[in-house]
Amino acid sequence: MAFVHGKNTIVLMQGFNMSNFLNSVETAFTADVNETTVFNSSNVKTYVGGNRDVTLSAEGLFDGSTADGRVDSFVSAIPSSSDVMWSIYPNGTTLGAFGYGIATLQTEYALSSPVDDVISMTLSGQSVSGRDRTHSLKSIAADTSNTGVGTGVDSGAGSSSTQGGVGYLQKLDNTRNLTSATIQHSNNNSSWDALISFTASTARGAERIAVSGTVKRYTRAIFQRAASTLSGQHQIGFDRK
């Protein structure tokens, strides 16, 4: 048994490292239960399971910065019709660390300004994709090279499946071009095939891509940046269905 302290949590939202501002995050997984009791039920109520739902809520401190990367300006401008990608890792983003990926519609952004305390903020979202249980294929550590080939993450013997999967890319900076980011899979950790190719972008942001069909035992992330003199930062996760 291995318990994990909450202080290690990494929260990424649409290309922002929200761990620098949040002190609480919750993803609630619920399911409808509908009663089917009829007269001849032997004095025991009966039920049938219904639809599942996921919501997200987070609390933290208000960011009043006017510099690039300011959270308040970004969150305030999110339209309710746009998906916001969250990647949440309870014990950091080291290779193989588990987390959750969620695509939400923003339902609340509230500020509280008490006379005797710091300004706080609350964020809430409604999932439109359920909750994907991801494993980190690329940590948020700054890139030191323009090319990266990740180590394969082994999901174990017999883990090859035909149910597809979901990949998440969080691009945490806009100072250096990410010309390609790809998730590959392999049966033997030696010969690799492309599984997911994310969209190249020069801007901060995030992307969620679902794939169908076979996912092999091992997965890894590879990336290419346009220049080798500047550092960059991004994180990649994958959920095998």
The answer to whether residues 82 and 184 belong to one domain is no
Q: Is residue 82 part of a domain?
A: yes
| Final residue belonging to a domain, choices 132, 156, 180 | 132
Residues 145 and 231 grouped into a single domain? yes
Asked if 127 and 10 sit in the same domain, the reply is yes
In a shared domain, residues 171 and 116: no
- Whether residue 64 is found in the same domain as residue 176: no
One domain for residues 225 and 166: yes
The answer on pLDDT for 35 being more than 70 is yes
What tokens does 46 get?
A: 């009966």
| CA separation for the pair 57, 73 (Å, rounded) | 19
Sequence-separated (6 or more) residues with CB below 8 Å from residue 87: 10, 11, 12, 99, 100, 101, 134, 168, 170, 206, 235, 237
Is the pLDDT confidence value at 65 over 70? yes
Number of H helices, E strands in the chain: 1, 16
User: What is the count of structural domains for the chain?
Assistant: 2
Domain that holds residue 88: 6-132
Average pLDDT over residues 59-84: 78
- Domain co-membership, 84 together with 105: yes
Q: How far is CA 25 from CA 32, 35, 57, 236, in A?
A: 23, 32, 6, 20
pTM over 0.85: yes
Q: C-alpha 68: how far from its chain's center?
A: 22
Claim to verify: residue 215 and residue 120 sit in the same structural domain = no
Across the chain, what does the average pLDDT equal?
A: 89
Residue 149: inside a domain: yes
- Same domain, yes or no: 120 and 40: yes
Mean pLDDT confidence for 211-221: 95
CATH number at residue 37: 2.40.30
Domain co-membership, 87 together with 204 = no
132-164 pLDDT tens trace: 999 999 999 887 777 888 999 999 888 888 999
Percent of the chain's residues with pLDDT above 70: 94
Q: Last residue of some domain: 114, 132, 150?
A: 132
Maximum Cα–Cα distance across the chain:
75
Task: State which of 60-64, 69-73, 139-143, 236-240 shows the largest mean pLDDT.
Answer: 236-240
Last residue of a domain, one of 132, 154, 172: 132
Is the pLDDT reported for residue 167 higher than 60? yes
Domain annotation covers residue 1: no
Structure tokens at 62: 């208000």
108 within domain boundaries: yes
Where is average pLDDT lowest: 67-76, 98-107, 179-188? 67-76
Q: Compute the C-alpha angle 98/2/101, nearest 5°.
A: 15
Helix (H, G, I), strand (E, B) or coil at 19: helix
Instruction: Give the three-class secondary structure for 76.
Output: helix
Residues 100 and 188 in one domain: no
pLDDT category of residue 178 using cuts at 50, 70 and 90: confident
Q: Is the pLDDT of residue 66 over 90?
A: no
What is residue 221's predicted lDDT score, i.e. its pLDDT?
95
Pairing of strands 120-127, 22-35: unpaired
Please compute the mean of the pLDDT values over residues 39-60 and round it to a whole number. 91
> Same structural domain for residues 34 and 119?
yes
Compare 172 and 222 and report the one with higher pLDDT: 222
